[in-house]
């Protein structure tokens, strides 16, 4: 048994395709997503033309300066030059404050016969102020949803102050986040699940199909080696590779990109091993259904690619349409990634992921039944 296991491990590491899907493929995603600085994606460069030079315009500028994502650029010589910069993508917004943008002063109402300030029955007449002009690129989501809302809020506040409206409602904020969570921290558990899935399904299905094409399985059936021992050695060799795979992904993510793991590492490895058992069984089912290696590769891609994008590896599955999201949550990769993220990011224990583990246990039984019914050792 140990000789078979060692032989399978050596064959796995000599197989370039297996090494790519098991080690290089997931590491490639870790490096790609680690190199992106997603915290800088929201930065909006803008220029401001202050034609009023009033206290009110200074307050508006001070409000902009408090927002880290708004990056003020040097004001060009003219508005036309700024529009050229906007068209070329050098900036994302232009704010033009009109010359009469200042705190309004109520004037006397002629119909009242006395100054508005001393007549409680007369409404003060407030002169109209030219609007602030904002030029922006409508394809820039950050400007549309955030930068413009800042201006709206500021204008609403100024209108209330001009109307002497009392402030009845307000809110306070308190940041209670105690963990430094970056996007790569969220991506890493997803890549772990993806790596386990692709290496198990593609590796076992193409490997067994290749053995069948080479008549190796037929020859083994004529030897004293028990088929059970051969299959167990095959599974254990992949689980051994998975342990190396998991360790390598976590180490690269932590050392190169500062990924944080707040939960228990043993529980993290346990979830990965359970997921590996699911996908190894699915790999055996694919190998049993496929007549050759090319068919196994194609069918493996059909199984793994949808889960790679729908199960939350890169994007949250909650953003999918409700009908699709209700189906996706039952895929084997979805509860695995959910459990990995709860352990890695939230620091959760067994009690917090029992639902995901129950789904994974159900998939282990279902995948084993599929492999048992479909896979045949001989042709």
Average pLDDT over residues 153-164: 72
How do residues 237-261 score in pLDDT, each as one tens digit? 888 888 988 999 999 988 888 888 8
Separation between Cα atoms, residue 192 and residue 182, nearest integer Å: 17
**pLDDT reading at 173 higher than 60:** no
Lowest mean pLDDT segment, chosen from 146-150, 231-235, 255-259: 146-150
Task: List, as one string, the DSSP characters of 326-369.
Answer: HHHTTSTHHHHHHHHHHHHTT---GGGSHHHHHHHHHHHHHHHH
Q: How far is CA 90 from CA 71, 118, 174, in A?
A: 12, 52, 35
Q: Mean pLDDT over residues 35-58, rounded?
A: 77
**Distance of alpha carbon 354 from alpha carbon 348, whole angstroms:** 11
Q: Contact, 72 vs 48, CB < 8 A?
A: yes
CB 27 within 8 A of CB 251: no
pTM of the model: 0.67
Tokens representing residue 90 in the block: 């050098």
| Percent above pLDDT 70 for the chain | 78
Burial class of 285 by CB neighbour count within 10 A (0 to 12, 13 to 18, 19+): buried
HSE, side-chain direction, 13 A CA sphere, residue 361:
6
Q: Where are the domains of the chain?
A: 2-36+182-374, 43-162
- Please determine, for residue 115, whether its predicted confidence score (pLDDT) is greater than 60: no
Which class for 10: exposed (0-12), middle (13-18), buried (19 or more C-beta within 10 A)?
exposed
Instruction: Grade residue 120 by pLDDT with cuts at 50, 70 and 90.
Output: very low
Q: Output 316 or 367, whichever has higher pLDDT.
A: 367
Distance CA 285, CA 201 (A): 9
C-alpha angle 132-137-140 in degrees, rounded to nearest 5: 115
Give mean pLDDT, residues 321-340.
89
Query: How high is the pLDDT of residue 272?
Result: 94
* pLDDT at res. 114: 46
The residue with greater pLDDT, 119 or 335, is: 335
Mean pLDDT of 36-42: 59
Least confident interval from 1-15, 98-112, 149-163, 292-306: 98-112
Give, in words, the CATH class of 43-162.
alpha beta
> Is pLDDT above 70 for 295?
yes
Residue 4 DSSP SS3: helix
CA distance 125 to 138: 37
Query: Are the C-beta atoms of residues 4 and 230 closer than 8 Å to each other?
Result: yes
Rounded to an integer, the average pLDDT of 31-36 is 74
pLDDT band at 207 (very low <50, low <70, confident <90, very high): confident
Q: What's the confidence (pLDDT) of residue 274?
A: 95
* Cβ contact 231:221 at 8 Å: no
* 219-to-1, 152, 234, 287, 289 alpha-carbon distances in Å: 18, 77, 16, 18, 20
pLDDT band for position 209 (cuts 50, 70, 90): confident
Range of lowest pLDDT (39-43, 114-118, 227-231, 241-245): 114-118
Strands 44-50, 93-97: pairing kind: parallel
Q: Which is it for strands 93-97 and 133-136: parallel, antiparallel or unpaired?
A: antiparallel
**What whole-number distance in Å separates Cα of residue 357 and Cα of residue 375?**
26
CA distance 161 to 59: 13
């Amino acid at each position: 048994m140990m000789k078979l296991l060692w032989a399978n491990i050596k064959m796995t590491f000599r197989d370039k395709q297996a090494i790519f899907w098991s080690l290089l493929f997931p590491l490639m995603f870790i490096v790609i997503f680690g190199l992106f600085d997603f915290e800088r994606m929201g930065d909006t460069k803008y220029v401001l033309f202050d034609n009023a030079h009033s206290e009110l315009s200074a307050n508006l500028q001070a409000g902009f300066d408090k927002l880290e994502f708004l990056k003020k650029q040097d004001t060009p010589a003219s508005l036309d030059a700024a529009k050229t910069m906007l068209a070329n993508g050098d900036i994302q917004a232009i704010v033009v404050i009109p010359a009469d943008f200042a705190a309004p002063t109520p004037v006397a109402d002629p119909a009242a016969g006395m100054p508005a300030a001393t007549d409680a029955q007369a409404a003060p007449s407030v002169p109209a102020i030219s609007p602030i002009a904002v030029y922006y690129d409508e394809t820039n989501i950050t400007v549309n949803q955030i930068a413009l809302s800042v201006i709206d809020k500021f204008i609403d506040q100024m209108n209330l102050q001009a109307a002497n409206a009392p402030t009845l409602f307000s809110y306070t904020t308190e940041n209670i986040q105690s963990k430094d969570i970056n996007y790569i921290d969220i991506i890493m558990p997803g890549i772990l699940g993806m790596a386990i899935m692709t290496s198990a399904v593609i590796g076992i299905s193409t490997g067994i199909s290749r053995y069948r094409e080479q008549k190796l399985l037929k020859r083994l059936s004529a030897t004293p080696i028990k088929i059970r021992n051969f299959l167990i050695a095959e599974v254990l060799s992949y689980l051994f590779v998975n342990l190396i795979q998991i360790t390598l992904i976590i180490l690269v993510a932590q050392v190169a990109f500062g990924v944080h793991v707040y939960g228990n590492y043993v529980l993290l490895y346990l979830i990965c091993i359970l997921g590996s058992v699911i996908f190894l069984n699915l790999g055996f089912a694919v190998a049993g259904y496929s007549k050759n290696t090319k068919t196994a590769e194609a069918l493996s891609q059909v199984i793994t690619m949808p889960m790679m994008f729908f199960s939350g590896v890169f994007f949250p599955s909650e953003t999918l349409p409700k009908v699709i999201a209700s189906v996706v949550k039952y895929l084997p990769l979805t509860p695995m990634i959910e459990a990995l993220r709860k352990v890695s990011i939230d620091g959760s224990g067994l009690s917090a992921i029992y639902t995901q583990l129950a789904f994974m246990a159900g998939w282990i039984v279902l995948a084993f039944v599929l492999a048992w019914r479909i896979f045949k050792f001989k042709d």
